[in-house]
Amino acid sequence: MRAAIYARVSTADQAMEGTSIDTQLDSCRSYVNAKSWDLVDTFVDEGVSGAKDTRPGLDRLLTACRVGQVDVMVVSKLDRFSRSLRHLVNTFSELDQLGVSFASITESFDSSTSTGRMLRSMLGTFAEFERDRITERMVEGLRAIAARGYWPGGPAPYGYQIVDADDGTKHKTLAINTEEADVLRLVVDLMVNHGYTTYRAATYLNDHEIRTRQGKLWWHPNLRHQVRKPHLTGEWTYKQGGRPIKLEIPAILSPDEWDRLQAAIKGAPRPQRKQRLYPLTGRGRVHLHCQCGGNFTGMVRKEKNRAYYTCARAHDSWGKFRCPHLPRTIQAEPLEQDVWDKVVAVLTDPDTLTELAADHITESTAGYDSATTTRQRRELEAPIGRINKQRIRIVRDLADQDRLDILDSAIGQIDAELADLNRQLEQLKALQRASTEGHLTAKKLRALADTARQRLQHPTPELMASVFDVLQIDLHRVNGNHFQGTATLPIPTKDSWLDILPAAGEVHTKVPQRLTPLLPR
């Protein structure tokens, strides 16, 4: 039998009760040796409650059981394994399915027998009952401490610190933390006397290198939460285990200051979010991509009234992944103007447009020969015509013979051959069209450059958005504020080539054959 030992302790006080980690391990090792089992490994959880379903040591032990490395699990006492009946039932059910036995030294039972499994369930019930009683006694003790005017435990609220009681007992009380209280009074002064919002007050604290208790920057929801707590006027409330208990503590603010502060918070202006069109993203368009794989979205910082692009994965709430690249927000107007300048520089330069078009046509018509292509088209059109006639004849004959049940199988091979020939024919036609259009492209692109100079001088966000959409801008952040990407330019057709440069407010979705790249990588 391959045995694994599990030991757990939740508090340092249990070391004095004979349940220390070393005591548990020693007794379990002696038990394993007496049984002549092979000890595979020991798993320990220190300072973890037995009511928790997930614990680092226990999780590793269960993984070892699932992969077949353990035959029997050994604990010194059942409540060391768990104090939750639900957790015990679920875990033991899984262990039984895996064929892993459970042995408790103190209770002297082995789950390999039916009697041991019954005893195991009964002891699990008592373990959970004992945990609940411990919790109740602990809460009752804390309530008694709070009722006597002492601090019942836990971290002190911001603005206060825990000190020894001045009556000579071992209990604690709260005293004002001068440094933190001064920060709260500064915030009150900024909001009440100078009209600051919590956002501006947080910015003021950060700009003057005033940090939170943990040494971090202030975030305005956190600051707002701190200045709305009523205990700042000298009365803290303990709410655990029954009716709230009022505890008198030193006051940081007077009741009048508190009332004026709450009125200032309630009356602080809340500007509406500015409506803005983001040419590079939003409303179905996504032209900006981050290094982390997320897309940029538009946002307006209300306090600064300034537009930004921000990575959609910039916040911790995005699953378990947060964008690691900085900055996570980029000012919108400089980025839009930079992209627009590059687009205009290309669209208004006929030489650049002609060169790009020539490269595209040369690439798409490589190896093109007019006579050869014409001959190949004829060679394809003749068999396509014969196969179509053959297909019609087969369908008619099978219909006359009332054999429609074999129609699909009879013409399936013919349709496959026909589809392959039609595909080859379309490729030849596209090659001929590209060659024919190539002779007219230079003239059309020069006219396009003239139109661009007339229409793109005073862009609106709507004009930017429509042009970016037609050009299919695709930008990826390389680092910081630096983006690289490509765009595709529709080759103007005879009838609708002006559509690629819409007037302000117009949006055209027709995209003819594309020319790429427009922006250099």
Active site (catalytic) residues: 10
Please answer whether residues 348 and 456 qualify as being in contact, where contact means their C-beta atoms are separated by less than 8 angstroms.
yes
- Residues 265, 271, 272, 278, Cα dihedral to 10°: -130
The CA-atom distances, in angstroms, between 435 and each of 341, 366, 496 are 32, 10, 19
**Residue 135: CB partners within 8 Å, gap ≥ 6?**
none
Phi, psi of 311 (to 5 degrees): -65, 135
Phi, psi of 73 (to 5 degrees): -105, 130
User: At 249, which amino acid appears?
Assistant: I
Burial class (CB in 10 A: 0-12, 13-18, 19+), 77: middle
Please answer whether residues 261 and 193 qualify as being in contact, where contact means their C-beta atoms are separated by less than 8 angstroms.
no
The CA-atom distances, in angstroms, between 1 and each of 61, 183, 269 are 16, 64, 72
**Residue 350: CB partners within 8 Å, gap ≥ 6?**
445, 446, 448, 449
The CA-atom distances, in angstroms, between 406 and each of 284, 387, 401, 412 are 48, 19, 11, 10
Considering Cα of 199, then 205, then 207, then 209, what sign does the dihedral take?
Answer: negative
